[in-house]
Structure 1
């Protein structure tokens, strides 16, 4: 069942910035995603004597006639929301068996509404239980989950973990709170670590990148200080030479501010400078609106999003075991296997 989720259709990284639009259906082929299919407990719904992928396919086949009644609405919503229609059909099959297990449109002890079981405890159901409006709401919830899972698991390969470890081990090359008094110096070193720990790993990495770029710029121009005029020159360099976006430059400034504040906690906030705010506004006005195409969504992310639709994105804690907290502990694997059936049968 769909849990409590925010429903962003766009991302905007700062107030009044131009919106960058992300779509939600740049999936890999559902047939290429490995799956273990339905559990034996789930298979018992139709008194099947098989488990796994074969059970999922038979369950989906048993629902095909009922799902086909809503095919035009499924395809319409899929096109509107840029979402794989086979996943919509598969969720509909798993959640309500194409509506056959619902009573007056309700299921799950009267908490789940409609073909795709929108949870009334977390959402206000829209439309009638079998309407296109209902399907569109459920798909919005799924796509929101997908975005949350992508952000939650931006990269989990061993290579990325080792790279992060190396980055963290080099933290000493960046400014920190210091004191000539030995007793105070130890506490300030701990304070520096705590301040850096307040940032997410990815944010700290971005700040470190900004700091390195800024110091490289100063060194190239034989400057050792970092006053407002140097910041302005660096922003100009980022715009004309590095062709960085307005949003990236704001991130760089936040990183520079972070390390300048560690070097001198009394340092004024950079964005309070009229000149810096003005140059950023100028760059923003010159920057065209850009729609960014997302990279293909991996199978692990798709399974994570499907699991999150059932149990909530917060309960998906490990991409290697996304079904740990799902209904039947097989939800995403079963839905993927059903989706593969629907993909091969006109969806």
Structure 2
């Protein structure tokens, strides 16, 4: 027989808890199901907005390309991205950014290292370093681990996260997907230089005016193919 004192205590706890109070803080995640796990990538939903993909301007000003062009380009970089996948995933875990987005930026910026010279700088710009093309004119770039080192991916991911937070703070009423799309654009332009436009003109100031659209198209491909 259960002592009456125990019954009374349990009844008190039930009534107290039912009024919205938490008696004991459980530091362990709930074991609701074997598949339960905390969200590691709060920016993952940015993979899914509509995107125009890669665009190329002609001499007449017309633009062509599209999502299929973005997918074609990132598909040719996959084998190089696979070589640094563990580092990209680690940077994603550090910052909460989906690794597919980081990998897509590496593909867009340097063709996953293919467009870098022997010193780790872009063939197209002497002020852009590493797989993630960090600007040496905006930041003190960490070159200690080389252009594909963990330090580089971690630093780039942190720069991207600061850009994402800048947009979130500046446009709290935007949908999450649009906030992060603009954050990707700000990463390219530089937070200190990026004047946030409307949601339909996010790429106005970016490289070739298609940066975030191209990155998102590449990231969607990497996710769909389960490469990242």
TM (normalized to structure 1)? Answer: 0.49
Query: SS in structure 2 opposite 1:99?
Result: coil
1:299 maps to 2:177: yes
Unaligned runs of 5+ in 1: 1-22, 43-49, 157-296
Q: Tell me the distance in 2 between the aligned counterparts of 1:87 and 1:93.
A: 10
1:131 is matched with 149
Return the match for 2:166 from 144, 148, 152. 148
8 Å CA contact 1:24–1:143 kept in 2: the answer is no
1:332 maps to 2:212: yes
The 4+ residue runs of structure 1 with deviation greater than 4 A are none
8 Å CA contact 1:111–1:120 kept in 2: the answer is yes
Unaligned runs of 5+ in 2: 1-38, 59-63
How far 1:40 moved relative to its partner? 2.9
Q: Number of residues paired by the alignment?
A: 178
**Structure 2 matches for 1:179-218, cutoff 5 A?**
none
1:110 is matched with 126
8 Å CA contact 2:121–2:130 kept in 1: the answer is yes
Between the two structures, name the one with larger relative contact order (CA 8 Å, sep ≥ 6). Answer: 1
Query: SS in structure 2 opposite 1:36?
Result: coil
How far 1:316 moved relative to its partner? 2.6
Query: SS in structure 2 opposite 1:40?
Result: strand
Q: Tell me the distance in 2 between the aligned counterparts of 1:312 and 1:64.
A: 27
Query: SS in structure 1 opposite 2:140?
Result: coil
Structure 1 or 2, whichever has the larger Rg, is 1
**Structure 2 matches for 1:219-298, cutoff 5 A?**
298=176
2:52 is matched with 36
Alignment RMSD = 2.0
Which structure features the higher share of helix residues?
1
How far 1:31 moved relative to its partner? 4.2
